[in-house]
Homo-oligomer: A and B are copies of this chain.
Amino acid sequence: MLNPCDSGFLDALDAALPARTLRPAEERYLREPRGRYLGQAGAVACPASTAEVATIVKAAQAARVGVVPYGGGTGLVGGQVMSAGPAPLILSLERMNRVRAVEPAGNVMVAEAGCILADVQTAAADVDRLFPLSLGSEGSARIGGLLGTNAGGTGVLRWGNMRDLTLGLEVVLADGSVLHGLKRLRKNNMGYDLRHLMIGSEGTLGVVTAASLRLFQRPARTGAAMLVVPSPEAALKLLALAQARLGEGISGFELMAGQGPRFVAEVLPQVRQPFAQVPDWMVLIDLGLIAALDPVVELEALFEAAAEDGLVSDGVIASNEAQRAQFWALREAIPEANRLIGAVASHDVSVPLAAIPAFIERATAALAALGDMRINCFGHVGDGNLHFNIFPAQGRDRAEYEPIRAQVIETVHDLVAGFDGSVSAEHGIGRLKTGDLERYGDPVALAVMRQIKAALDPRGILNPGAVLRSEVRGGRRARVAPTHPRSRARPCLFGEGRAGGERVGVFAAR
C-alpha cells in the first residue's frame, strides 16, 4: 500500500532539495481540461534538473509515496490527475524547459521534458527545420506528457506520432536511477528498445526528463484545400488518389462531418467558414511540397481528377498562407466548439482504414436506436483515427442523457472492437480508460504489462492507477496463461469496477 504525501515526507524531502522546489498543490494542477474533475495532491514538486527528479523519486520510493508526473496538464484521459487513494506528490517538469542542443545538420534536437511543444517547434524553425508534431494544445502541452501519451495530432500521416519522432530518452526510474538514453541515432540495435517501452507508458514506468527528437527539412512550399466529399468512403478514395499523385507531399488529411463547422458557427461565429452552406462531409488537405511543385497547381489538378471520379463536388483552394491558416483555424476550433456545446460522450478511436465508412454508418445507426443525439465525427482519417463525439439533440440538455451515457460509450467501443480497432487511438489510457483496456485489450498483453510494471516499479509509486488499475496489484494479478479467457465482464468505464478495488473517481465527463 502507498502512503500519503504528508508533511513528514515533505519536510524530509524539502531538506534534500533547493528552496522553493516544493510548492502547494494549486488548483490548476488538479483540474483536467474537460473541467468536471478535481484531483488531489500533498504538494507539487518543481525540480530544475534530472538529479533533483532522481532525488524526489528515490525519496518517494523509500517512503512509498505516489508520484504523478505532470506536463502541460492537457491530457484528456486523466493520466495527470489522481482523485482517490493516498494523496500523491505531483512532479511537474515545468522548470526543466531547456532545449539542450539543436543540430540542424544531424536533424536532431535534445529538449527537456518541460519544454512546451510550440517552443520546440519554434526552436526547430529557428534553424530552418521542422518538428512536425502538431495538435490543438501545442501552446500548453509539454514534451514529457506528449511522450507519456505517445501523442498524435494532424501530422501523423506524414511524419508519424511522438514515438516515431523520438530517437532517445533520459528517464528517471522508480528507484531514482537515471537511464541515460539520449542517443541521436537513426539506427541503434543495442538490446531491448526501452525508449518505446517508456513512450506511451504515461509516467507509470519512469519519469522522462529529456528526449532527443527528430527534425525534418521544412517543405519548400505549402498549400491547402477544403474539399466537399459526398461520403467518408469518397474521402478515403480521395486520400488514395492524392497519395498516388503526391506521395509524401500530403502533410495532413482531416475529415470533418458538417456537424463540426455547424457547432463552430453556433458558438464561435468569429471563425471563418469556407462554404456558405455547410456540407455534410468535407476534407481539409494540407500539402508540403518541394520547390519544383506548385501547391495550387497540384491541388487544382487533384480536384479535377477527383471530380471526374465523383469524389469531390465543391472545394476551396487556399491561394495564400492566410487562407491556409483560416482552413486550419476552422478545423482547430472544433474541439473548443465541442466543449462549449457540451458532449454526452467523446471517443478517440481508430479502425483499419477500409473499415471507416462501415464504422461510421453502423455507429450512427446504433446510436439513433438509443435516442435522439447529434454526432460530431472528425479526425485524422488518413490514420484511421476518428473523434466520434456525441452531443444532445438541439435544445436538449446533456443531463437528460445521463441514464444512457454508459450505453452510448459501450455501443461505440463495442463496434470499434468488432472492427479490430482501438478505443484509445491517440489520447492514451490514463485513469479514464483502464476498464476499456481490461475489456478490449488482449488479456495476455495486459498480463505482460502488469509483469513489466511489477518488475520496474515494484512498489507501484509511479502514477498509481494510470494505465493499469492499482487494485490488481497484490495477490490478484492476472497471470499469463495460454488458456486465459477473454474477459466477458461488463466494461468498467468509470471506476464502477471490481469489488475491493480502488475506485477511480468521478471521470464522468468526456
Interface residues, chain A, with chain B CB atoms under 8 Å away:
54, 58, 103, 105-108, 149-150, 152, 156, 160-161, 163-164, 173, 175-181, 183-194, 196-197, 199-201, 205, 217, 219-220, 236, 240, 243-249, 289-293, 298, 350-354, 380, 382-385, 420-429, 437, 440-442, 444-449, 451-452, 454-456, 467-468, 480-482, 484
Q: Are B152 and A425 in contact (CB under 8 A)?
A: no
Does B187 contact A156, Cβ atoms closer than 8 Å? yes
A214 to chain B, nearest CB (A): 11
Nearest chain B CB to A478's CB is how many angstroms away?
Answer: 11
Nearest-Cβ distance from residue A213 to partner chain B, whole angstroms: 13
Q: In the complex, what residues of B have CB within 8 A of residue A150's CB?
A: 189, 193
30 pairs from A and B in contact (CB 8 Å cutoff): A105-B236, A105-B354, A106-B354, A149-B189, A150-B189, A152-B189, A163-B193, A173-B448, A177-B444, A179-B442, A179-B444, A180-B444, A185-B384, A187-B383, A187-B422, A189-B427, A190-B429, A190-B440, A191-B441, A191-B467, A192-B448, A197-B452, A217-B243, A217-B247, A219-B247, A248-B248, A292-B298, A448-B456, A452-B452, A452-B455
* Contact of B425 with A189 in the complex, beta carbons under 8 Å: yes
Interchain CB contact under 8 A, A352 and B437: no
**A422 lies within 8 A of B173 (CB):** no
How far, in angstroms, from A451 to B424 measured CA to CA in the complex? 28
Number of this chain's copies in the complex: 2
- Look across to chain B and name the residue whose beta carbon is closest to the beta carbon of A483: B177
CA distance in complex: A189, B448 (Å): 16
Residue in chain B with minimal CB distance to A197: B197
- Give the complex CA separation of A452 and B451 in angstroms: 8
Give A449 to B195 CA distance when docked, in angstroms. Answer: 12
B residues within 8 A CB of A186?
156, 350, 382-385
Q: Which residue of B lies closest to A481 (CB)?
A: B177
Whether B180 lies near A189 (C-beta < 8 A) is no
**A382 to B189 alpha-carbon distance, docked (Å):** 17
Q: How far is the CB of A428 from chain B (nearest CB, A)?
A: 5
Given contacts A58-B482, A186-B350, A194-B445, 16 further A-B pairs with CB under 8 A are A152-B187, A179-B445, A180-B444, A181-B442, A181-B445, A185-B384, A185-B421, A189-B426, A190-B429, A190-B440, A191-B441, A191-B446, A192-B448, A293-B293, A452-B452, A455-B455
Q: How far is the CB of A258 from chain B (nearest CB, A)?
A: 24
The CB with the most chain B CB atoms within 10 A, among A173, A382, A448, is that of A448
- If A197-B193, A200-B192, A249-B247 touch, whether A161 touches B187 (CB-CB below 8 Å) is yes
Q: Check if A185 sits within 8 Å of B425, measured CB to CB.
A: yes
Q: Bound state CA distance, A350 and B189, in angstroms? A: 10
The distance in angstroms between the C-alpha atoms of A44 and B54, with both chains bound, is 48
Q: Are A353 and B106 in contact (CB under 8 A)?
A: yes
A354 contacts which of B103, B192, B240 (Cβ < 8 Å)? B103
Query: With A291-B245, A384-B187 known to touch, is A482 a contact of B105 (CB < 8 Å)?
Result: no
| Bound complex: CA A382 to CA B175 (Å) | 38
Interface contact B424-A189, CB-CB below 8 Å: yes
Q: Which residue of B lies closest to A380 (CB)?
A: B187
A451 touches B444 (CB 8 A): no
CA distance A420 to B454 in the complex (A): 31
Bound-state Cα–Cα, A197 to B452, Å: 11
In whole angstroms, how far apart are the Cα atoms of A455 and B351 in the complex? 32
Q: Give the Cβ gap from A123 to chain B, nearest Cβ, in Å.
A: 18
Given known pairs A54-B482, A58-B482, the reply for A245 and B191 (CB within 8 Å) is no
In angstroms, how far is the closest chain B Cβ from the Cβ of A320?
Answer: 22
Q: How far is the CB of A232 from chain B (nearest CB, A)?
A: 13
List of 7 A-B pairs having minimum Cβ-Cβ separation, nearest first: A196-B196, A248-B248, A188-B422, A455-B455, A106-B353, A187-B425, A186-B383
A54, A380, A446: residue with the most chain B Cβ atoms closer than 10 Å: A446
Query: Across the two chains, which residue of chain B brings its CB closest to A173?
Result: B480
- Check if A187 sits within 8 Å of B350, measured CB to CB: yes
A191 to B201: give the CA distance in the assembly, Å.
6
A247 touches B245 (CB 8 A): no
Q: How far is the CA of A108 from the CA of B194 in the complex (A)?
A: 26
Q: Is the CB of B184 within 8 A of A449?
A: no
Contact partners of A447 in chain B: CB under 8 A: 177
**In the bound complex, do residue A184 and residue B385 qualify as a contact, i.e. CB atoms below 8 Å apart?**
no
> In the complex, A217 Cα to B157 Cα: how many Å?
13
Collect the chain B residues with CB atoms within 8 Å of residue A175's CB.
480-482
